[in-house]
Amino acid sequence: MNKQKALLPITTFAMMFSFAVWAVFSPLASTFQQMYGLTSTQKSILVAIPVLLGSVMRLPLGIWTDRIGGRRLFSLLLLFLIVPLVGAGFADSYAMLMFWAFFIGMAGTSFAISVTFVSRLTPPEKQGTALGINAMGNFGTAVAAFSVPSIAASFGVPWAFWGMIIPVVIMLVLVWFFTPDMPKPKQQKTMRESLSVLKYKHTWTLSLFYFVTFGAFVTFGIYLPSLLVDLYGLTPVDAGMRAAGFTVLATLARPVGGYLGDKIGAERVLAFVYAGMTLGAFTIAFGMENIWVMTAACLFVAVMSGLGNGAVFKLVPQLFPAETGAVTGLVGAWGGLGGFFPPIVMGIIKDATGSYVLGFLLLSLFTLICFLLNRLVFGKKAGEPAKRFAS
Could you tell me the CATH number of the domain that includes residue 273?
Answer: 1.20.1250.20
* Residue 27 shares a structural domain with residue 125: yes
Which residues have a Cβ under 8 Å from the Cβ of 294 and sit 6 or more positions away? 231, 284, 287, 288
Which amino acid belongs to residue 170? I
Choice between 249 and 190, residue whose per-residue pLDDT is larger: 249
pLDDT at 172: 95
Does 390 reside within a domain?
A: no
Q: Is 200 helix (H, G, I), strand (E, B) or coil?
A: strand
Query: If pLDDT is split at 50, 70 and 90, which confidence band does 77 have?
Result: very high
Does 389 reside within a domain?
A: no
Number of structural domains found in the chain: 2
* Residue 135 shares a structural domain with residue 206: no
Distance between CA 336 and CA 69 in Å, rounded?
Answer: 22
Query: If pLDDT is split at 50, 70 and 90, which confidence band does 369 have?
Result: very high
Cβ–Cβ under 8 Å, residues 77 and 18:
yes
Give the H/E segment covering residue 264: helix 236-264
Does 386 reside within a domain?
A: no
**pLDDT exceeding 90 applies to what percent of the chain?**
27
| Boundary residue ending a domain (179, 203, 231) | 179
Q: What is the pLDDT of residues 218-269, one digit of tens each?
A: 788 777 887 888 888 888 778 877 887 888 888 888 888 888 887 888 888 9
Distance between CA 218 and CA 343 in Å, rounded?
Answer: 9
pLDDT at 21: 93
Which residues make beta-bridge pairs with 200? 390
Does 173 reside within a domain?
A: yes
| Boundary residue ending a domain (158, 179, 200) | 179
Calculate the alpha carbon distances from 282 to 215, 273, 365 in Å.
17, 14, 9
Calculate the alpha carbon distances from 241 to 27, 47, 61, 102, 144 in Å.
10, 17, 32, 25, 10
Q: Which domain holds residue 287?
A: 189-381
Burial zone of 166 (CB within 10 Å; 0-12 exposed, 13-18 middle, 19+ buried): exposed
* Residue 250 shares a structural domain with residue 339: yes
| Boundary residue ending a domain (123, 148, 179) | 179
Does 82 reside within a domain?
A: yes
Does 44 reside within a domain?
A: yes
* Residue 174 shares a structural domain with residue 199: no
Query: If pLDDT is split at 50, 70 and 90, which confidence band does 165 have?
Result: very high
For residue 391, is pLDDT > 60? no
pLDDT at 389: 42
